[in-house]
Chain A
């Protein structure tokens, strides 16, 4: 039987170390909503989402209450809208009307984000894909809760450089369209290489076409729990360090598995995956950078950071895999800047640069995330940064992403405040040298040789 020590340990993780379930994300297929009439399409989308998700928030709260574990976010992901709207949308305004429908239904069912205003263009773009991408600035500046993502490359297909060039422009346009809110629109826009179909985390969540009609995916989080566990093994060797992370990750993930199974049973929706993640928030003690410091670095970004992050990421997966029957999504440590107080401190101390962050993305989950850059950064420079990150993902057969925010009207040395879970960020300098001619070539970068495994 459970003993007092175990109960106290679990409850201290929750009350003192910020253990929580970061998100229950309900994936909903919109493929059966496709219609050539835009009005009917919007109506079908509204009803499908509303009917599927009306009990999501209350169920999440009920589970949270019964088990005493906070469930921070309840969210929805839908089939990439470029696929759904292709038959009906003839202009960017047509596509943006779908974003409006998603925003409206998100408000009504009470979720804080809805993902899937997306296009998958890793090899080429259809006219609908292009139209959706061009509608992103309008969609994100006229909605509050809609998140957008675009998959620009994969290990199997190579990198679609036409789309990379276009996305450099779209990121800048989105920043301009939302400049009154410190270019907040870009915080809801992410580009991927090797985007997973079952990611529960925003801004990149969408419900892939390989998925069932509805699915429950859960993302856990507990950087504070890992840090506290590591503080008890200071000075011990790497074997002890790794074992400690692994055991802690197991415990954290078990909570995610429990919540996922409960949500699945109560909503009558199949359980998809648990995303084994260490997702920070701006709250003190909820930081991945602090774990790196606990491992032995003065600041995130110091020499040794990449190695420390690599082992952290690997041990989180090793511990988590056994704790859950299905794992997926992004699974790993997230290293967003604005959402992690330790990362912000590292940037302010001059310890962490974009180049070091890029190196770190080679060994952990996702990529350049929530990084504020000067508003006068050129479109081609943004495309160049995207291309670098896509290449890392393509060659290493992993998911990589870019979510950078060119803050219009602000420069290096200034700070931008996004609020809430999105946090605040010092604006980081970008390499000033040009990549114009590289980006303007157009076409595709072929898939790497090791992708041919057939």
Chain B
């Protein structure tokens, strides 16, 4: 398992999850968990995904998701899970 955290933040609009999930499916990235809230019209989503089956390298995926985010009008970040794990778990 190769866990990555994808965060999507920005103004809420129709189809954000659909577009992100389509990209993930096309690249054989498996979604393990999704949590999402909307605060004052702002869309805030976190996905935990497994990139084990992915054929691209990490940087390529991060760049493509970032570009996809720009098209939708949201900010999409990809980070390996360890940074959060290290910081919040002893």
Chain A residues within CB distance 8 Å of chain B? 1-4, 6-11, 62, 65-69, 251, 254-255, 257-258
Q: Which of B29-84 contact A (CB under 8 A)?
A: 33, 35, 37, 44, 46, 48, 58-59, 62, 77-84
Residues of B within 8 A of A6 (CB): 84, 87-88
Asked if B85 is at the interface of the complex by the 8 Å CB criterion, the answer is yes
Residues of A within 8 A of B37 (CB): 4
**Would you call A67 and B59 a contact (CB within 8 A)?**
no
Residues of B within 8 A of A11 (CB): 7, 77
B82, closest chain A residue (CB) = A258
**Would you call B87 and A254 a contact (CB within 8 A)?**
yes
Report the separation of the CA atoms of residues A258 and B58 in the bound assembly, to the nearest whole angstrom. 18
Question: How many residues of chain B are within 8 Å of chain A by beta carbon?
Answer: 23
Among B59, B62, B79, B85, residue most surrounded by chain A Cβ atoms (within 10 Å): B79
Q: Which of B1-52 contact A (CB under 8 A)?
A: 5, 7, 33, 35, 37, 44, 46, 48
| Chain B min CB distance to A199 (Å) | 24
**Would you call B7 and A255 a contact (CB within 8 A)?**
no
Whether A7 touches B33, Cβ cut-off 8 Å, given contacts A2-B84, A67-B82, A68-B77, is no
Report the separation of the CA atoms of residues A66 and B88 in the bound assembly, to the nearest whole angstrom. 18
Report the separation of the CA atoms of residues A11 and B59 in the bound assembly, to the nearest whole angstrom. 18
B77, closest chain A residue (CB) = A68
**Would you call A69 and B59 a contact (CB within 8 A)?**
no
A256, closest chain B residue (CB) = B86
Residues of B within 8 A of A251 (CB): 87-88
Report the separation of the CA atoms of residues A7 and B81 in the bound assembly, to the nearest whole angstrom. 9
18 A-B residue pairs with Cβ-Cβ distance under 8 Å, sorted by A, are A1-B33, A2-B88, A3-B35, A3-B46, A6-B84, A6-B87, A6-B88, A7-B46, A8-B46, A9-B88, A10-B87, A66-B58, A66-B62, A66-B79, A66-B80, A67-B79, A69-B83, A255-B83
| Chain A min CB distance to B26 (Å) | 21
Whether A2 touches B48, Cβ cut-off 8 Å, given contacts A11-B7, A66-B80, is yes
Whether A2 touches B86, Cβ cut-off 8 Å, given contacts A65-B58, A65-B62, is no
Residues of B within 8 A of A68 (CB): 77-79, 83
Among A9, A11, A251, residue most surrounded by chain B Cβ atoms (within 10 Å): A11
Report the separation of the CA atoms of residues A67 and B84 in the bound assembly, to the nearest whole angstrom. 9
Residues of B within 8 A of A257 (CB): 86
**Would you call A8 and B44 a contact (CB within 8 A)?**
yes
Residues of A within 8 A of B84 (CB): 2, 6-7, 10
A254, closest chain B residue (CB) = B86
Report the separation of the CA atoms of residues A9 and B44 in the bound assembly, to the nearest whole angstrom. 13
The 4 closest A-B CB pairs, nearest first, are A68-B79, A67-B83, A254-B86, A6-B88
